[in-house]
Amino acid sequence: MARPVWSGALSLGLVTVPVELYPAVADHTIHFHQFERGTSDRIRNRRVNERTGDEVTQDEIVKGYDLGGGDHVLVEPDELDEIAPERSRRIDIEQFVELDEIDPWFFDKTYWLKPAKEDFAKAYGLLLQAMDRSEKAGVAKFVLRGKEYLAAIRAGEDVMVLNTLHFVADLRKPKDVMGKLPQLPKPRPKELDMALALVDEMTAPWKPEDYRDEYSKRVEDLIKAKEAGKEIAHEEEPEPSADVVDLFEALSRSVKNRKSGGKAPKKKAAGPEKPELSELSKADLDKLAREQGVKGRSKMSRAQLEKALKAS
């Protein structure tokens, strides 16, 4: 079981619930040490004086802010400690917003929030259900590891989800990064219709379990093979398809390929009757509404989703 990275209290008005924060994402990147080729000698990074080449200990290092032109403002670690935000013991929800209003651009890391003790499960559950029914997210600020974060707190599957958010000052607009934006010619109506047909043909329910980190798997296979003294057989790259100059023709071919062999047509599975709507979670109701084409589902409460599905 993982240890919480933060503990404190979630506060909404006069309601305070002690909570613990757990990371919801694990890093599966394969990490390597460095060795000198032909030896078993590890390579170590050292802090050295750029001018003298002498190694410098951590307590002899100060930070410097680059002013340009080779000039720096030097800042002592103690000076930064004096102005650092105090460790937050509270997550105070300042307001609620529609979850749809938060652009994915703002989202950073994801955490789970759980009550610190079973004694606070009732208050926690009340807040969780209120967020679920309203489909709103609470906006708050708190301090984690000496850094202040903006956060959105929302209802997940039987647990609260906390997403750290980027501040507006952290976000870069396209024109600030790329300079001149591309000039986009207006598409011909038939091209747009065909593009929409391709999008529709390729649309399917979101199943994240269908996607894998193929590169990490290949790295693992490489390591296992080398450990066993084997050689890796690499698949040959497929021959590139012939370029199609006409955009409409390319879209038409894409749609035909999807319909003919891209994927088998969906069939209704003959099986047990579908479960009662009242037994489904809100996420399942939303998925079912999406499959049945219920409009306006993103703003519907659980009760409204049930009603809309019964009427469809």
Ordered structural domains, the chain, with CATH: 6-26+84-170 (2.40.290.10), 185-229+245-259+279-293+300-312 (no CATH)
Other C-beta atoms closer than 10 Å to the C-beta of 83 total: 6
User: Phi and psi for 136 in degrees, rounded to 5?
Assistant: -115, 160
**Structure-token pair, residue 195:** 């593009």
Whose CA is closest to 257, among 203, 207, 202?
202
In this prediction, residue 82 carries a pLDDT of: 78
In this prediction, residue 269 carries a pLDDT of: 47
What span, in angstroms and rounded, lies between the C-alpha atoms of 20 and 14?
19
In this prediction, residue 240 carries a pLDDT of: 61
Confidence check: pLDDT of 131 > 70: yes
Whose CA is closest to 302, among 158, 171, 143, 133?
133
Q: Which of 23-37, 221-235, 256-270, 276-290 has the lowest mean pLDDT?
A: 256-270
Question: Per DSSP, what are the bridge partners of residue 15?
Answer: 12
In this prediction, residue 264 carries a pLDDT of: 44
In this prediction, residue 268 carries a pLDDT of: 45
* 3-state SS record for 225-273: HHHCCCCCCCCCCCCCCCCCCCHHHHHHHHHHHHHHHHCCCCCCCCCCC
Under the banding of pLDDT at 50, 70 and 90, the label for residue 270 is very low
**Structure-token pair, residue 237:** 């790259």
Hey, what amino acid is at 271? G
Confidence check: pLDDT of 179 > 60: yes
Grouping H, G, I as helix, E, B as strand and the rest as coil, residue 94 is strand
Confidence check: pLDDT of 62 > 90: yes
User: Phi and psi for 246 in degrees, rounded to 5?
Assistant: -80, 120
In this prediction, residue 73 carries a pLDDT of: 95
Q: For the segment 232-247, what is each residue's pLDDT rounded down to a tens digit? A: 666 666 666 555 457 7
Contacts of 96 (CB under 8 A, 6+ apart): 134, 136, 137, 138, 139
Per the model's pLDDT, the better-predicted residue between 269 and 59 turns out to be 59
* Overall average pLDDT of the 38-43 stretch: 92
* Overall average pLDDT of the 78-85 stretch: 78
Confidence check: pLDDT of 274 > 70: no
Under the banding of pLDDT at 50, 70 and 90, the label for residue 306 is confident
What span, in angstroms and rounded, lies between the C-alpha atoms of 5 and 87?
12
Confidence check: pLDDT of 288 > 60: yes
Hey, what amino acid is at 302? R
Most confident of 120-129, 191-200, 268-277: 120-129
Model confidence, pTM: 0.66
* Overall average pLDDT of the 215-232 stretch: 83
Question: Per DSSP, what are the bridge partners of residue 160?
Answer: 113, 155
* Overall average pLDDT of the 158-176 stretch: 93
Q: How far apart are the first and last CA of the chain?
A: 43
* Overall average pLDDT of the 28-34 stretch: 90
CB 20 within 8 A of CB 7: yes
What span, in angstroms and rounded, lies between the C-alpha atoms of 179 and 172?
12
In this prediction, residue 243 carries a pLDDT of: 56
Question: Per DSSP, what are the bridge partners of residue 236?
Answer: none
**Structure-token pair, residue 11:** 């506060």
What span, in angstroms and rounded, lies between the C-alpha atoms of 164 and 150?
6
Per the model's pLDDT, the better-predicted residue between 20 and 274 turns out to be 20
Per the model's pLDDT, the better-predicted residue between 230 and 239 turns out to be 230
Per the model's pLDDT, the better-predicted residue between 88 and 41 turns out to be 41
Per the model's pLDDT, the better-predicted residue between 111 and 271 turns out to be 111
In this prediction, residue 226 carries a pLDDT of: 84
- pLDDT mean across residues, the chain: 84
User: Phi and psi for 270 in degrees, rounded to 5?
Assistant: -85, 115
